[in-house]
Amino acid sequence: MTPSRVWKLSFVFMLLSCLIPIGVVQAQPVNITKDLDKFTVKHGKRQITVSRNQDIRAVIEPDFAKVARNCPPFCIQPMEAAPGVTTIGELELIDFMMHEVNQETGLLVDARTPDWHAQGVIPGSINIPYTDISPSMGANPMEIERVLKPLGVMTKDSGALDFSKVKKVAIWCNGPWCGQSHAAISGLIELGFPANKILYYRGGMQMWKLFGFTVVPPAEEM
């Protein structure tokens, strides 16, 4: 074999060695973790499959891509919502959805106002606006009793609220710049809801969308 022929073959093999890894990378799925590609969660009367956007060119929508918002009201929220409340990330939230939500031992609560809720939610969520559970914001006792019933809050014969058999709740809003979750958590604790039964997903809708997770209409609209 001539030197020229050897050089040409070497050049071809070099090109192939460069192209093969690219093809492999492009074929890789966008999983949630290395061991989890998707899961299902109960959303109203339906089961929703949750996964990540598989388009590696996809970008977050403009409303959630802003780096500056007027503060107040859109101020950076502390990591700890209240003493005794546990702050969680995406993987902890997913574990909560897969187990507590699906087994109906816990509730995923969208604390945003109805106009935000109508724009799309994290699957498995119910809407309890922070304004409906905050006495300091004018929520009346009858409304409070109604919205807290799904959380396992009972009413004693005396009219007092009974929190002895409440479900664990994971509360979220629009993200680290949104104070609606904090207001909801403060309202619940003010009423007597045990702090150790509350999880705070600080990332909210912004981080959920940033990771390309499934967003769905409210359960009542499906």
Return averaged pLDDT per consecutive 10 residues of the chain, 222 residues in all.
Answer: 46 42 57 97 97 95 91 96 98 98 97 96 97 86 92 92 96 97 96 97 98 95 66
Name the strand (E) or helix (H) holding 88.
Answer: strand 86-88
Which pLDDT does position 28 carry in this prediction?
Answer: 75
From the list 86, 87, 110, 106, the residue with the least C-alpha distance to 97 is 106
**Number of H-type helices and E-type strands within the chain:** 6, 9
Residue 1: its pLDDT value, please?
A: 52
Q: Count CB neighbours of 170 within 10 A.
A: 24
The pLDDT, as a whole number, for residue 137 is 82
Structure tokens at 153: 């809050």
User: Which pTM was predicted?
Assistant: 0.85
Tell me, what amino acid is at 48? I
The CATH number that domain 39-221 falls under is 3.40.250.10
For residue 10, the model assigns a pLDDT of 44
Q: What pLDDT does 17 receive? A: 45
Question: What are 101-149's pLDDT values in tens digits?
Answer: 999 999 999 999 999 999 999 999 999 999 999 888 888 888 899 999 9
Given a contact cutoff of 8 angstroms between Cβ atoms, the answer to whether 77 and 179 are in contact is yes
At residue 95, the pLDDT reads 98
d(CA 14, CA 57): 28
